[in-house]
């Protein structure tokens, strides 16, 4: 605790605020880059002609997974794996498309299914923390604004302290998500590299790798953004105690 107080003592609210702005700008750039890459590779058809659904089903089969269903869900970039229902959920743009982007995304989501089947520890930890993090996210939205008001006008830090604690849980979850996402992409790319019936050229493999890299970067900047926000409110709370 003394080490944390020592660190926060050197972090002014102004520097934390500046860090938040920098990360927000970087996040916008990364999001734009990811969406532009996805659009670019969505327009490049696979030489194999396989759809996202077919890629996902092939990868699951090749990994000996027969109890996971591949389904289509509404929305854009809504692709995800649900360990509770054991479903690989693909957006229509991925499920039906026969592009490099759809193959990369489908394989990535199946990477999570492979993690689940293999008992990958980071995914297990992330799954356990989901309900706690959902509750913490709701608490953050309620407590931070009220907490700041009470801190400045009533000199009562309790509500803000609760908000900071909840935000710490959300931040921890965002960092635990990083190895889960990077590992899923690694599994996807390893399978694609060894399966030339799906991607038949080196160029397609490089395009898939590029798309997944930028997707991973969105998680990185999100985690850093959460950390910067946590430092901002924690420094506010710490400065009030002096």
Dist CA 115 CA 123 (whole Å):
7
Q: Which of 176, 145, 179, 185 lies closest to 162 in space, CA to CA?
A: 145
Q: What does residue 79 show for φ and ψ, rounded to 5 degrees?
A: -65, 135
Q: 92 φ, ψ to 5°?
A: -55, -35
User: Which of helix, strand or coil describes residue 238?
Assistant: helix
Task: Return the active site residues.
Answer: 109
Q: 87-96 long-range CB contacts below 8 Å, 24 or more apart?
A: 88/56, 88/60, 88/112, 88/113, 90/52, 90/53, 90/56, 93/42, 94/52, 95/51, 95/52, 95/53, 95/70, 95/71, 96/51, 96/52, 96/53, 96/72
Per-residue tokens: 35: 């969406």
């Amino acid at each position: 605790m003394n080490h944390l107080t020592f660190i926060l003592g050197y972090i002014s609210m102004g520097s934390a605020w500046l860090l938040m702005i920098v990360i927000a700008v970087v996040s916008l750039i990364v999001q734009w880059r990811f969406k532009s890459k996805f659009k670019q590779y969505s327009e490049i058809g696979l030489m194999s002609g396989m759809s996202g659904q077919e890629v996902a089903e092939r990868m699951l089969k090749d990994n000996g997974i027969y109890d996971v269903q591949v389904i289509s869900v509404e929305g854009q970039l809504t692709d995800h794996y649900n360990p509770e229902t054991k479903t690989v959920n693909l957006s229509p743009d991925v499920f039906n498309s026969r592009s490099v982007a759809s193959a990369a995304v489908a394989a990535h989501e199946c990477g999570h299914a492979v993690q689940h089947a293999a008992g990958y520890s980071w995914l297990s930890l992330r799954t356990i923390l989901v309900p706690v993090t959902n509750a913490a996210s709701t608490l953050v939205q309620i407590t931070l604004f009220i907490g700041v008001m009470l801190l400045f006008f009533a000199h009562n830090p309790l509500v803000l302290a609760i908000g900071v604690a909840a935000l710490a849980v959300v931040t921890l979850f965002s960092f635990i998500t990083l190895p889960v996402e990077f590992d899923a992409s690694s599994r996807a790319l390893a399978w694609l590299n060894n399966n030339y019936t799906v991607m038949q050229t080196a160029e397609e493999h490089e395009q898939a790798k590029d798309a997944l890299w930028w997707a991973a970067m969105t998680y990185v900047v999100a985690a850093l953004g959460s950390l910067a926000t946590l430092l901002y409110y924690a420094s506010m709370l710490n400065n009030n105690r002096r």
